[in-house]
Structure 1
Amino acid sequence: MRHRLTIFLAAGATILAMPAPAQQAGAPAAKSASSDDIMKKAVNQPGTNWQVYGPNQKAKALNDTGVPGGQVIRVTVSAKGTNAWDVGSSSPIQKPIAAGDTILVAMYLRAPELKDGETASIPYIGANGVAAPYENLLGNGVTISRDWKLYYASGKATKDLPGGSMRATAHLAANKQVIDLGPVFVLDFGQNYDPAKLPKN
């Protein structure tokens, strides 16, 4: 069974991706109170505002109806890096995070050139600092396939973090590979939230 947050995130991404004129013209778009509530927890601007960095890579924007909003960034890594973080993608976290807050990073990923049954390893998805020493807020590795799926990293902030000091991140240089990045969400569930309630990979 799909975790209910996964369903709400997909609904919320679709709502947020709608162009303003379409939202204002005619009747308002139908949306659930639950997806609204989830989007209010966002401390980033959900979407595909990825910045790709590092050598031996090319990135381009594509349209893809397989993800909410229909926009993705395709990153072609032409050579394995010395470190997995030599090529990566990041997306800013604009709002502050308080010590003790439970944070969830959720991002759509796939490796489109894999064959059925093949997988690719992404050693790190999560959130870290925007400047050296790139302090880790939370993160874990994931194994992805050729199909779109939401992947998660979660944890608790150990100190107050100003807005703009952190970013959602994926390290992509573990192999020569092609990775598609879809919408990314960073949600703050506040104090006293049980991380066990959050979706897992």
Structure 2
Amino acid sequence: MKWLVAAALAAVPANQAAVQSPTPPPPAAAQGGLNDKLINNPLAPWNAYGPNQTSKLLDTEGPKGYPATRVTITKKGANAWDAGVGVPLPKAITAGDVIYLAIYLRAPNLKDGETVIMPFYGVGGPAPSYATIVTDHATITNQWAQYYAVGTANDNFAAGTTQATVHLAGEKQVIDVGPIRVFNLGKGFDTSRLPHNK
């Protein structure tokens, strides 16, 4: 249901909407309904972690002029998850909930036509298990684009115990991480018509 994602993007300021959003805004009632399913604040700052990395806030260089975080990985890690960014999710998730996310990413130092793989972005549970709720990978370029992931929670997670994460230590690289929107679509939601990665 592409109107769901269009509704979510319409529910935030216009210059934070998707780079490619040809679908006209849905009725106001639909916007409010989907906005209620958003379980994070898209403007919350990313927290960088791990060794061999530095980060800085890009106040106006994110998609549509919104803030983003630039992370410079100075040395490839033994594991992709050794360094990255995360942001906590303040709302609870229960077993069977369908979780859908949309995130903006780019690798600004790549030349036109070059790509790099982001091996993991998604939503996970707290330490020490770091249970994965939803994840995907993406092939990104030097241009802002939106990438998606969808999954179903296998357990209950209390409010404030989950976070969205991007693993960045897979290469020595510079990655810009823009806004992320995480939706809890409830149980039994049919995701077949939602946007997915190409």
- Classify the TM-score, shorter chain: 0.7 to 0.9
| Maintained 8 Å contact 1:13/1:47 | no
Residue aligning to 1:148 = 144
SS of alignment partner, residue 199 of structure 1: coil
1:12 aligns with 2:11: yes
1:157 to 143, 150, 153: 153
Letter in 2 for 1:98: T
Normalising by the residue count of structure 2, what TM-score does the alignment of the two structures yield? Answer: 0.86
Unaligned runs of 5+ residues in structure 1 are 18-29
| Maintained 8 Å contact 1:68/1:183 | no
Letter in 2 for 1:13: V
Task: Give the drift of 1:184.
Answer: 0.8
SS of alignment partner, residue 91 of structure 2: coil
Q: Distance in 2 between matches of 1:64 and 1:4?
A: 28
Task: Give the drift of 1:104.
Answer: 0.6
Task: Give the drift of 1:161.
Answer: 1.4
| Maintained 8 Å contact 2:121/2:135 | yes
Q: Percent identity?
A: 41
Residue pairs, 1:179-190, within 5 angstroms:
179-190=175-186
Q: Distance in 2 between matches of 1:194 and 1:31?
A: 19
| Maintained 8 Å contact 2:105/2:145 | yes
Cα distance change on mapping 1:104 and 1:65 into 2, 3 Å: same
Residue aligning to 1:107 = 103
SS of alignment partner, residue 187 of structure 2: coil
- Higher mean C-alpha displacement, 80-89 vs 7-16: 7-16
| Maintained 8 Å contact 1:5/1:199 | no
1:168 aligns with 2:168: no
| Alignment coverage as a number of residue pairs | 187
Cα distance change on mapping 1:56 and 1:13 into 2, 3 Å: farther
Residue pairs, 1:11-90, within 5 angstroms:
11-14=10-13, 33=28, 34-64=30-60, 66-68=62-64, 70-90=66-86
Letter in 2 for 1:95: K
Normalising by the residue count of structure 1, what TM-score does the alignment of the two structures yield? Answer: 0.84
Task: Give the drift of 1:88.
Answer: 1.0
SS of alignment partner, residue 189 of structure 1: strand
Q: Distance in 2 between matches of 1:16 and 1:41?
A: 21
